[in-house]
A and B are shown apart, each in its own frame.
Chain A
Amino acid sequence: MMPDISIILETLLIVVKAFIVTMVLFVMPLPLTWLERKIAGHIQVRLGPWRVGPHGVLQPFADMIKLILKEDILPYKADRFLFVLAPVLSMVPAFAVYAAIPFGESFKIPGIEREMTLYLTDMNVGVLYILAVSGLGVYGMIFGGWASNSKYALLGGLRSSAQMISYEIALSFASIGVVMMANSLSLVDIVKAQGGSLLNWNIFYLPVGPIWFAVFMIGGFAESSRIPFDLPEDEGTLSSGFHTEYSGMKFAFFMLAEYIAMVTISVLSVIMFFGGWNAPFNIPLPIPPIFWFVGKVAFFIYVFMWVRFTLPRYRYDQLMNIGWKILIPVSLVNILLTGFMRIG
């Protein structure tokens, strides 16, 4: 039996789209590392990368070549299988999250009369899928920390996993708040519910919207282990945390996962609170929706870097206090408040 031609075409389209998304994500850390170091430089009144290429733009390529050419060190005490598996295990879920993320609505391809959607799939459990899959990244961290058989790595791995699971609860609560406002778990529906104008965005659903956004952002900073919550990589006490023993390409995978996590949190905050690809006003200009989406995401990535070079790092007990004693009670109260507003 010959399968239908449209089914083949559909599958091919999915593969092509997935390939493009994967490629973009794979090279994304190159501009981001350059940007981060440049922003760091200018915030601290110095130049940042300067030597390789004009304004140091070729620096990330030099770094990439260096990482490929680095010797791969496998400590003799390490658990060989898990040591190799851990970086891959922390990288792959970071990519898999993007299967459910909508970058825009569908558009007509000019020439042939065919609709093309700007997302891989519109799951009816999108939010749940993203929370579940991004949670899998913890395994990479804890395996990496344990398999290294090094004291710093083990402590870093334990700290990372405790931090990730603590703040995942806050992150889920904030997602529940958004689901309550949109009445759907599908990310496309969540964005569509915020259409129209600026005032329909979830962040402006007063008074609970900003509180949910604050909970989500604090949880997101902790989930992507960025300053002020980068305790797993606290170089003062733990040298480099769970990836102390890693070098070369395996180290690069952990870094890749971290940068993609940062982008994921930015993308999710745009989709959940800032109207996704919706324009803030009804502008009569033919600006494509993807422009708004990318612009908003770029802004949030900048905020991540801005915060990194502005704030100091929390202590570990402070981190746990914020997660369990502030964010969770606030979320519980806020859920009741949101529910009351929704049915009232």
Chain B
Amino acid sequence: MPFTYLPVLVMIGLATAMAIGALFMSFIFRPRNPYREKLSPWECGMEPVGEANRGHFRVHFFIIAILFIVFDVETLFLFPWATILTEKGLSMFVFVEMIIFIAVLALGLIYAWVKGALEWV
């Protein structure tokens, strides 16, 4: 199947070309009148205070990101299982196996829940 993944490349190329074309169109037609007040970050009309992207953010977002990696990898493991589930002679075995797998993960979710990793207030 040499053509299975070619459309992906073509699609990405066309979309990028469209984006650059639209930016170029606007580059030709748009006015230019910048001054310092206009270019300052928007803070409800006040003088901007300090830098925003120093990396100060709530650590909770980081915990959510870690949990996401665990569960996203889990779903990846479930995909091949889901495709062979009804194959003869195999189904009971993989089903029991997956019950164990999901139980372990549910335990992980319960642990995170009890530890308060999912609380936001």
Task: Please give the residue numbers on chain A whose beta carbons come within 8 Å of chain B beta carbons, in ascending order.
Answer: 10-11, 14-15, 17-19, 21-22, 26, 67-79, 87-88, 91-92, 95-96, 98-100, 120-124, 127-129, 146-154, 158, 161-162, 165-166, 168-169, 172-173, 176, 179-180, 183-185, 239, 244-245, 248-250, 252-253, 316-317, 320-321, 324-325, 328-329, 332, 335-336, 339-340, 342-343
Contact = CB atoms under 8 A, between A and B. Distances in A.
Q: Could you say which interface size class chain B belongs to?
A: 35 or more
Contacts, number: 218
B117 to A, nearest CB: 9
A88 B19 contact: yes
A317 B41 contact: no
A3 B82 CA distance: 40
Contact of A19 (B14, B85, B113): B14
Given A149-B52, A151-B52, A68 B29 contact: yes
Given A121-B8, A162-B65, 4 more contacts: A14-B3, A73-B38, A179-B83, A253-B19
B58 to A, nearest CB: 8
A160 B44 CA distance: 21
A99 B32 CA distance: 38
Contact of B42 (A87, A128, A150): A150
A183 B86 contact: yes
Interface of B: 3-8, 10-12, 14-16, 18-20, 22-23, 25-27, 29-34, 36, 38-44, 48, 51-53, 57-58, 61, 64-65, 67-68, 71-72, 75-76, 78-79, 82-86, 91-92, 95, 98-99, 102, 105-106, 109, 113, 118-121
Contacts of A11: 3, 6
Interface of B is mostly: helix
A2 to B, nearest CB: 17
8 contacts: A15-B10, A76-B40, A91-B15, A120-B10, A129-B8, A168-B68, A249-B25, A336-B98
A18 B31 contact: no
Contacts of B19: 87-88, 91-92, 253
Given A68-B30, A76-B39, A92 B12 contact: yes
B53 A146 contact: yes
Contact of B26 (A248, A320, A343): A248
A15 B42 CA distance: 43
Given A165-B64, A320-B120, A343-B92, A96 B79 contact: no
